[in-house]
Structure 1
Amino acid sequence: MTRIVIAGAGRMGQAIAAGLHKQDDLELLGTWQRGDDLAPLVAAADVVIDFSLPDGTTQVLEAVAAHSTPLVCGVSGLDAAQMARLDEVAARVPIVYDRNMSLGVAVLEHSIREAASSLGSDFAIHIAEVHHVHKKDAPSGTALKLGEAAAAARGEAGTGSVTFESERRGEVPGDHEVVMQSATESLTFAHSVTSRQVFADGAIRAARWIAGKSPGRYAMSDVLFGN
């Protein structure tokens, strides 16, 4: 039985907890939120799943580093210093870090890399995303992740020449559309989320996968494709 600790008691933390209760091989050991004592939970856990906030992730990274506990982190909005620290910890602890835990988005990213590499610079790439009104960052972490994948496939740094469009509306969990267009044709990739449970399910799959892995920084593409 793999013992799981969840960092973050918000909607995602609750969805992950609900998903864990349906698993026969995973046990929810406890849930941490800021102000609680994190160290005893991490020391007793086999895997930590972090869906807190960036300042919470800072504490989580130090705790998993101290106890060599594998980590699944889906927190977006980490700054450069936090990402650098995550990479430092990943040199000693296995970490799955991804701004989107959806299995469908992992397939989408894989497909976009292939298409961008094959089509080349004759195709302009535009990413449009829609999320609920409570989401503060724009473009979304997922849109940036997809843009970075497309740009890297064409040898460009960061998001390169990829353009973005963001909309905040209602309670939309997350829609992303990637359009690759030349002067003569257009290719469209799309992904829509109908329930936030999809992110919880992906995090649970990643937690099952990361247990026992060697130190390193992994992504959902590794979980799905074994890269």
Structure 2
Amino acid sequence: MIKVAVFGANGRMGKVLCEASLSADYAQLSAALVRKSNALIGQQVGIFLGHRDTELIFTDESLLSCDVDVAIDFTLPEGMKVHLAHAVQQKVPMVIGTTGLSSDEMQILEEAAQHIPIVFSRNYSVGINLLENLVQVAAKTLSDDIDIEIFEAHHRHKIDAPSGTALMIGEAIAKAKGWEHADVAKFDRSHDDIEKSQQEIGYSVMRGGDIVGEHTAYFAAEGERLELTHKASSRMTFAKGAVRAAAWVKGKPNGLYTMQDVLDLR
């Protein structure tokens, strides 16, 4: 039984992570963490979640009073940096699903991984991680005279665009093709007066309603088109993957891991 802490436990994803930790037969929700100023501190998590199987109360994000094995964090980058510092101080391994990280924030993550084991992934769905492998097979197998595009759709509240998952898929394709992703990624064609290059990966984005997450990689050639698509209908998909990663990372050596490591897909 692994004892799990969830940062941002009152948020949209935090609540689902708490529910996944409570429902997994190999995990126990041991800490539901919120900001120090949050009015939920001291209140029962079970009442907030409508889950009667726990008497746990909300506590602040310092981790000081927590007896946990692993902490899970899907909060925004600014919050994640604070939580990461607490985790390093308390020597608590982390599972991080924060997206939209800058290069400086990624460097902070890599430095923290020298002191604690960290699983970082921009998507914890098993299906998406299989898709990451499938697009690499397609990119290596298909001829070079193809056009590669990535489409993604999410709910209207998602801030970063393209999504971290879309970039993960694009980076996997670029690696398989032997390209530098930064050189071939195309995010805007609104001012282009030239035809599309076949050595670029185009991105398009939709934001609307309550779409949990949809991603499609297109490989278009003359006479045929291959489309590899993943659609998520529930955030619980990501939460279950994160709890699975938490169980995996417990006891691992310090270092930065991905969901590919968790699923042994490398």
TM-score under structure 1 normalisation?
0.94
Confirm or deny: 8 A CA contact 2:8 2:14 kept in the other structure.
Answer: yes
**Superposition map of 1:191-210 within 5 A:** 191-210=230-249
Residues 1-227 of structure 1: pairs in structure 2 closer than 5 A: 1-9=1-9, 10-35=11-36, 36-41=60-65, 44-158=67-181, 160=184, 161-225=200-264, 227=266
Corresponding residue SS for 1:21 = helix
Secondary structure of 1:92's counterpart equals: coil
Identical counterparts, % of pairs: 39
In 2, Cα distance between equivalents of 1:123 and 1:162? 11
CA contact (8 A) 1:54 1:75 kept: yes
Structure 1 outlier segments of 4+, above 3 Å: none
3-state secondary structure, aligned to 1:72? strand
Secondary structure class of the residue paired with 2:64: helix
Cα RMSD for the two superposed structures: 1.5
1 or 2, which has the higher helix percentage? 1
**Structure 1: how far apart are the matches of 2:204 and 2:77?**
24
* Paired AA for residue 225 in structure 2: S
Superposition deviation, residue 123 in structure 1: 2.0
Partners of 1:37 and 1:200 in 2: CA distance: 19
| More deviation, 80-89/31-40 | 31-40
| CA distance in structure 2 between the aligned counterparts of 1:56 and 1:32, rounded to whole angstroms | 12
Instruction: Name structure 2 gaps, 5 residues minimum.
Output: 37-59, 185-199
- Equivalent pairs counted in the alignment come to 226
Deviation at 1:41, TM superposition (A): 4.8
The residue identity in structure 2 corresponding to 1:18 is E
Q: TM-score, normalised on structure 2? A: 0.81
Counterpart-to-counterpart distance in 2, 1:31 and 1:48: 10
* 8 Å Cα contact 1:6-1:31 kept in structure 2: yes
Aligned equivalents of 1:111, 1:178: Cα separation in 2: 10
Q: Is the radius of gyration larger for structure 1 or structure 2?
A: 2
Whether the 8 Å contact between 2:64 and 2:90 is mirrored in structure 1 is no
Any stretches of 5+ residues in structure 1 without a counterpart?
none
Residue 87 of structure 1: SS of its match in structure 2?
helix
Letter in 1 for 2:244: R
Contact 2:71 2:94 in 1 (8 A): yes
1:147 deviation in Å? Answer: 0.6
